[in-house]
Structure 1
Amino acid sequence: MTTALTIFQGLAGDHNNLAIPGARSIGEHLGKLFDLPAVTIGSPEPALNTEWRTELNHALPTLHKLQQHFRKVVARGEKPLSATSRCAVSLATLPVISALHNDVCIVWFDAHADLNTPASTTSGYLGGLALSGPAGLWDSGLGAGTALEDIVLVGQRDLDPFEVDLIQSGRVCHIKPGGGLAEKLRLAIAGRAVYVHLDCDVLEPGIVPTDYVHPNGLSLEDLRSACEVLAESEVLGLEIAEFQNSWVVDGPPVSPEPLIQSLLPILRKFGQLA
């Protein structure tokens, strides 16, 4: 199986202008690592930084283009490796993956669960609805099909009441940061094929630049250990979101190389490294 490298460059609920160049940087580093060309979807625009409905309406044309591209990728039997800027891009990717693999385990690394709905959100942020749309809890216009029972949340520590209720109901698995994370992840996956979403704010603040900052996150070594567990399964795809290109607006670029090094156990599932 060959790998399809994709870089998303459109808006998807951006608060600022740092994740679009961040995704470009991630994609370029991955391209060099695998000696792979990348397909770019969308063009950079200034962030809107407004409520979810306006953000979604603006993003939908580009998200539909990405979804069409993803359908072609999986139809060709290729494995998607993507730099997706913001979590809301998953509104387009996950329905494609779940349609092809109805038993896939969606492993969602994030400081947040992103399982709010338009009715439950307290922030009005589109990214907070990124997983609930594919899970069919609301209609994003991009499809659904991801079963709550097939979602494994990893590293969440900023949860809203609606999300807490979903977790406490037992319908969604949640692995908190802390000791034994890798073994808990192994048990939760239970040998299933995995599709992996990485929001970089799952990491301890200060490791890489991110929009949201929440203490008590994962270390790079925690992430690497989790990737070693994931590599024990069939890996159907990986998307990396929310890496910002610098710590502050107009600041010097930050290399994603330490982050990518921590992902090597799973990246080796995508082919020979250059």
Structure 2
Amino acid sequence: MVDHGAWDLIVTPWHLDEHLSGFPIPATATEVVRPQLPSGSVPARMSLLHRAVFDAVARVARPLVLSGDCPTARATVAGLQRRHQDLAVLWLDAHGDFNTPATSTSGYVGGMALAMLTGRAPDLFDDTLGLRAVPEAAVVLADARDLDPAERDALRSSQVRRITADPDAIVSALGRLGPVPVYLHLDIDVIDEAQVPGARFPSGPGPSLSLIEECLAAASATAHIAGAHVAGAWLPEHAGDELSRRTMSRLAAALGATLMLPPG
């Protein structure tokens, strides 16, 4: 593993605009993001939350964000862009998160997170973060075994590089990107659903937790991982259980971070 400095752990215990009271808070956290959100629309509340995450990310040298969803990625990336002019994305997820309001059959904002980063869904939130669209050619999407038909078509016509969740494939894809800093994003549902009971959107058989750990270690050894984000997208009642905490700890350890989580 290449040593790029210690992680600054930022915890944002939210799923969209829903506060997750059971989300585990490590003792090693640099900051826990808990803004007071006024009543209002979900996008308006999420915009305030994302601004708070952006501020936290922009204050630290090397953020590792733990959250309960994927759209928080827009705040993490915008914060990283304050320090890095160019940024590539490695996105490990059972889903593509490449829907837009025009293609989504459910309207679920969480399924649009990667599309937001590439500028395909510019009107979902206000622009106070100053997020710059990441070029699709600088995006690597690993696994994405569970896609909507329109989402699959959008990815097929895009420049996003799709690969299997395999260490060798990740090393190869990152090598083709060159020396650009990388934002690494992982949704826990990329792991085989039998190993992550309680995931909000289980997606059937997939890579084992051990294989995903190998993927993270391979990415860390290959690229300059400038920031990372682990989305613990569990149902609220599972977010803090023993298996979920162990999973988060193992994923963080594969990135070179230590989580000191409280007992369940």
- State if a TM-score over 0.5 links the two structures: yes
Aligning the two structures, in what range does the TM-score lie when normalised by the shorter sequence? 0.7 to 0.9
Tell me, yes or no, if the aligned pair for 1:114 and 1:130 is still in contact at 8 Å: yes
Tell me, yes or no, if the aligned pair for 1:13 and 1:127 is still in contact at 8 Å: no
Residue of structure 2 equivalent to 1:182: 167
Residue of structure 1 equivalent to 2:229: 239
- C-alpha separation in 1, matches of 2:120 and 2:110: 14
**Counterpart of 2:229 in structure 1: which amino acid?**
E
Residue of structure 2 equivalent to 1:57: 44
- C-alpha separation in 2, matches of 1:163 and 1:150: 19
Equivalent runs, 1:108-257 vs 2, <5 Å: 108-139=91-122, 140-141=125-126, 142=129, 143-169=131-157, 171-177=159-165, 181-190=166-175, 191-192=178-179, 193-208=181-196, 209-232=198-221, 233-244=223-234, 253-257=242-246
- Write the deviation string for residues 152-185 of structure 1: whole angstroms up to 9, x where unpaired: 11121111233322332350011135xxx21111
Tell me, yes or no, if the aligned pair for 1:99 and 1:145 is still in contact at 8 Å: no
- What TM-score, normalized by structure 2, do the two folds share? 0.80
Tell me, yes or no, if the aligned pair for 1:105 and 1:194 is still in contact at 8 Å: yes
* Corresponding residue SS for 2:137: helix
CA gap of 1:5–1:254, structure 2 versus 1, over 3 A, is: same
Equivalent runs, 1:59-138 vs 2, <5 Å: 59-73=46-60, 78-138=61-121
**Counterpart of 1:201 in structure 2: which amino acid?**
D
* Corresponding residue SS for 1:227: helix
Alpha-carbon shift at residue 95 of structure 1 (Å): 2.4
CA gap of 1:167–1:6, structure 2 versus 1, over 3 A, is: same
CA gap of 1:151–1:252, structure 2 versus 1, over 3 A, is: closer
Alpha-carbon shift at residue 202 of structure 1 (Å): 0.4
CA gap of 1:204–1:175, structure 2 versus 1, over 3 A, is: same
Tell me, yes or no, if the aligned pair for 1:98 and 1:145 is still in contact at 8 Å: no
* Corresponding residue SS for 1:244: coil
* Corresponding residue SS for 1:183: helix
Q: Would you say how many aligned residue pairs link Structure 1 and Structure 2? A: 244
- C-alpha separation in 2, matches of 1:137 and 1:37: 33
Alpha-carbon shift at residue 5 of structure 1 (Å): 1.4
**Counterpart of 1:12 in structure 2: which amino acid?**
L
- C-alpha separation in 2, matches of 1:254 and 1:245: 13
Q: After the TM superposition, which segments of 4 or more aligned residues of structure 1 sit over 3 Å from their partners? A: 245-249, 251-255
**Counterpart of 2:170 in structure 1: which amino acid?**
L
- Residue 16 of structure 2, aligned match among 6, 12, 19: 12
Alpha-carbon shift at residue 104 of structure 1 (Å): 2.5
CA gap of 1:165–1:227, structure 2 versus 1, over 3 A, is: same
- Write the deviation string for residues 17-48 of structure 1: whole angstroms up to 9, x where unpaired: 7xx246x42x41xx4xxxx3431112599xx9
- What TM-score, normalized by structure 1, do the two folds share? 0.77
- Write the deviation string for residues 214-234 of structure 1: whole angstroms up to 9, x where unpaired: 112210121122122112221
Tell me, yes or no, if the aligned pair for 2:92 and 2:142 is still in contact at 8 Å: yes
Tell me, yes or no, if the aligned pair for 1:227 and 1:263 is still in contact at 8 Å: no
Alpha-carbon shift at residue 261 of structure 1 (Å): 2.3
Alpha-carbon shift at residue 135 of structure 1 (Å): 1.2
Percent identical among aligned pairs is 24
- Write the deviation string for residues 224-260 of structure 1: whole angstroms up to 9, x where unpaired: 22122112221111111134377669x9554422442
**Counterpart of 2:104 in structure 1: which amino acid?**
T
- Structure 2's unaligned 5+ residue stretches are 259-264
Tell me, yes or no, if the aligned pair for 2:192 and 2:205 is still in contact at 8 Å: yes
- C-alpha separation in 2, matches of 1:157 and 1:2: 32
- C-alpha separation in 1, matches of 2:118 and 2:74: 9
* Corresponding residue SS for 1:133: helix
